[in-house]
Structure 1
Amino acid sequence: MPSQNSANIALRSIKKTFGETTVIPDLSADVEEGAFTVILGPSGCGKSTLLNMIAGLEDVSSGTIHIGEREVQNLPPNERGLAMVFQNYALYPHMSVGDNIGYSLKIAGVPKADRAKRVAEAARFVSLSDYLDRRPGQLSGGQRQRVAIARAIVREPAVLLFDEPLSNLDAKLRHGMRMELADLHKRIRATSVFVTHDQVEAMTLADRIMILNSGRVEQYATPHEIYHRPASTFVAEFIGAPPMNLLDVVGDGQALKLSDGTQIADVTHLGAATLGIRPEHVSLAADGIPARVTYSEDLGSHAVLLVELPNGSSLRVATQLGQPVTDQTNLNLRFKTEHLHLFDIETGLTLNKADS
């Protein structure tokens, strides 16, 4: 059941306050029609509040929201042309799966024959055709979440909203549901906005990711851009497991050096800066920056080493499979210059960065 009327979302100068507390100070962004957009950030950053304002579950303190050509911030949820999938499924336990999926159509007065056809089609889209007569209590967590998704898509909305829908599932089910959601989006083509604090969900599902920090957009870009070209130290540290290494350095116009004078890389920067490099872009070498391993984690496919540099700074290094390193090992490191990032030491904003 491809969406017949997917729509773009335009947020303009959105502000949300609760009494004296400002949760979202001033936010403007566009969600492209038909795109899968993920709102990502730590707990308390305002991501669910923003989603609820789009849905009409929270009032907008100021600013406008357009869905397609319509200004909707003053409209009730049922008049906005959207559907929402919640974290807790919110299914009626006394109803069958089929009745749960079709309940909104029944309330809307859709004729029984049309309702049955649309319920069957929605159930087929989420692989629940054989479960329509069961009750939610007879289903697994993943199946109950698929019922919630089917209940949303049966309305053929222009916009689908997801509020951390996978957070109640175990790791194996989450992985499977991510693949199912990605496949579902390709088939129904509705504009989708998905809130999560899980960077793996964001990186694997999104066309674009909006990273929020205290209600402000730190970066809004594709997963590749965010990982390889972070706009700030906040993004650099938030995305990646383990996260990007950040070191205080000083450039003399020819090279970057640590506080003790150890040369890190030949980069023509002058003055203090924060240098960023991801653990996988630090390599072991016969010579280079001396370091001592203080802790190691063997993850099977690779190991993550925590090392101490000459000035006492700590650094994480991701090594390839088959490179045996133990605690207290002395080694030498090289930074891949093409993967170095420089950030303003005061603001944390990017200064320059090489394409990866």
Structure 2
Amino acid sequence: MNQPHISADIVLQGLSKRFDKTLVIPDLSAHFRDGEFTVILGPSGCGKSTLLNMIAGLEEVSAGRIRIGDREVQNDEPKNRGIAMVFQNYALYPHMSVANNIGYALKVARMAKQARLERIRAAARVVDLTDYLDRFPSQLSGGQRQRVAIARAIVREPKVLLYDEPLSNLDAKLRHEMRMELSSLHKRIGATSVFVTHDQVEAMTLADRIMILNKGQIEQFDTPDVIYHKPASTFVASFIGAPPMNLIKVRGENGETRLTDGTLLTKKPRSLKDANDCLLGIRPEKISLCDDGKSDSDPVAVDILYREDLGSHTILLSRLPDGQEISITTPLGQSALIGASVRICIKPEHCHFFSPQTGLRLA
């Protein structure tokens, strides 16, 4: 385990899954690149765990093909797919030591004892469990148990590592620590990794690329940077970010963007043609308070409805002149009181435009 694992790409072609009459995943195709850390992100019920289970062989495929490396595997047993999986619950054997939990699959495979012990020690070193090999699961913290589950997966030296919400049972501090450990682990072993979560922080910090699922369909599959700064749809825009991107009903005409009551909100990018009614997206942190008169944008008056002070910044829920609500994130030391009226400025280069009918990005 001193050398990087051999990894493999995963190709899904026309994959679908039906439970009785309910179509959960309709005709999905995707390519998970060799050695890449991909996160499948989406709300509960979007089909992300079902998709992972089909790759793992824990769910039958209703239609389509799965290729791992140079082999089609949709009809293969899980043990023959060259994958290992880390689950949400640790699924450790309580009567076995850490060492025996890690090496159980190797024992079942009848690997020679000395070779098995060497692999167990190597996996334990990777996840920093060398001093815990003689302990039992009941003597470990939640984070240590999850590391045992990860070691049990990587000890088999799989080409593909699958993670099904492995951090959701941990508290916030442990989740942060485990994210750093998983990122470091991926750099060391190099296996193709597919990680399922509903937590956007996990997705943004861990992924090389993120696949965002909505009702079993791919909304966007790209790098965290592109997904955050150029969301492909209103679903992605409203799912990523805390608080999420504001989506405001506007009307574009004569190079200007106006609210529904005619108030001028901002100039319109030249690349966007007049679209009449559309949705303008703006990240809360891209909205400026401009009561100092120094902004080169047209100020708009808003009323502060609610505020959340988070130490490093403040979130202001505000009402626009036409009654729509908008969130503003202000830096430390710059804020406004509930009930106050302030002026905000929105620059054209920070605006995103979406179709109100399809939700797709316009420019």
1:65 correspondence with 2:40: no
**What's the counterpart of residue 88 of structure 1?**
89
**What's the counterpart of residue 275 of structure 1?**
280
**How many Å separate the matches in 2 of 1:24 and 1:323?**
46
Deviations, residues 149-169 of structure 1 (Å, cap 9, x unaligned): 000000000000000000000
1:342 correspondence with 2:314: no
Partner secondary structure for residue 166 of structure 2: coil
- For structure 1, which segment, 329-338 or 152-161, has the greater mean C-alpha deviation from structure 2 after superposition? 329-338
Q: Which runs of 5+ in 1 are unaligned?
A: none
Deviations, residues 10-44 of structure 1 (Å, cap 9, x unaligned): 00000000000000011000000000000000000
| 2:284 partner letter | P
**Structure 2 matches for 1:247-326, cutoff 5 A?**
247-267=248-268, 268=270, 269-270=273-274, 271-286=276-291, 288-326=299-337
**What's the counterpart of residue 111 of structure 2?**
110
Kept after mapping to 1: 8 A contact 2:261/2:322: yes
Moved runs in structure 1, 4+ residues, more than 2 A? none
Kept after mapping to 2: 8 A contact 1:290/1:333: yes
**What's the counterpart of residue 165 of structure 1?**
166
Partner secondary structure for residue 351 of structure 1: coil
Deviations, residues 73-121 of structure 1 (Å, cap 9, x unaligned): 0000000000000000110000000000000001111100000000000
Q: Residues 324 and 278 of structure 1: is their aligned pair in 2 closer, same or farther, counting only changes over 3 Å?
A: closer
Structure 1 residue corresponding to 2:339, chosen from 320, 328, 337:
328
RMSD: 0.8
Q: Residues 253 and 324 of structure 1: is their aligned pair in 2 closer, same or farther, counting only changes over 3 Å?
A: closer
Partner secondary structure for residue 350 of structure 1: coil
**How many Å separate the matches in 2 of 1:132 and 1:151?**
12
**Structure 2 matches for 1:176-195, cutoff 5 A?**
176-195=177-196
- Identical amino acids, percent of aligned pairs: 63
TM-score, L = length of structure 1? 0.98
Kept after mapping to 1: 8 A contact 2:353/2:361: yes
1:144 correspondence with 2:145: yes
| 1:332 partner letter | R
**What's the counterpart of residue 135 of structure 1?**
136
Kept after mapping to 1: 8 A contact 2:251/2:259: yes
1:230 Cα offset (Å): 0.1
**What's the counterpart of residue 228 of structure 1?**
229
**How many Å separate the matches in 1 of 2:231 and 2:263?**
26
Kept after mapping to 2: 8 A contact 1:227/1:236: yes
Q: Number of aligned pairs?
A: 352
**How many Å separate the matches in 2 of 1:5 and 1:305?**
49
Q: Which runs of 5+ in 2 are unaligned?
A: 294-298
Deviations, residues 315-355 of structure 1 (Å, cap 9, x unaligned): 00000111141101111000122110000110000001xxx
Kept after mapping to 2: 8 A contact 1:14/1:61: yes
Kept after mapping to 1: 8 A contact 2:6/2:190: no
1:175 correspondence with 2:176: yes
**How many Å separate the matches in 1 of 2:121 and 2:345?**
58
Partner secondary structure for residue 176 of structure 2: helix
**How many Å separate the matches in 2 of 1:116 and 1:151?**
13
**Structure 2 matches for 1:24-63, cutoff 5 A?**
24-63=25-64
Kept after mapping to 2: 8 A contact 1:3/1:157: no
| 1:257 partner letter | R
Partner secondary structure for residue 173 of structure 1: helix
Partner secondary structure for residue 13 of structure 1: strand
| 1:172 partner letter | K
Deviations, residues 256-278 of structure 1 (Å, cap 9, x unaligned): 11110001111154111100000
Kept after mapping to 2: 8 A contact 1:232/1:343: yes
1:3 Cα offset (Å): 4.2
Deviations, residues 182-241 of structure 1 (Å, cap 9, x unaligned): 000000000000000000000000000000000000000000000000000000000000
TM-score, L = length of structure 2? 0.96
**What's the counterpart of residue 78 of structure 2?**
77
| 2:287 partner letter | V
1:45 Cα offset (Å): 0.1
**How many Å separate the matches in 2 of 1:5 and 1:321?**
47
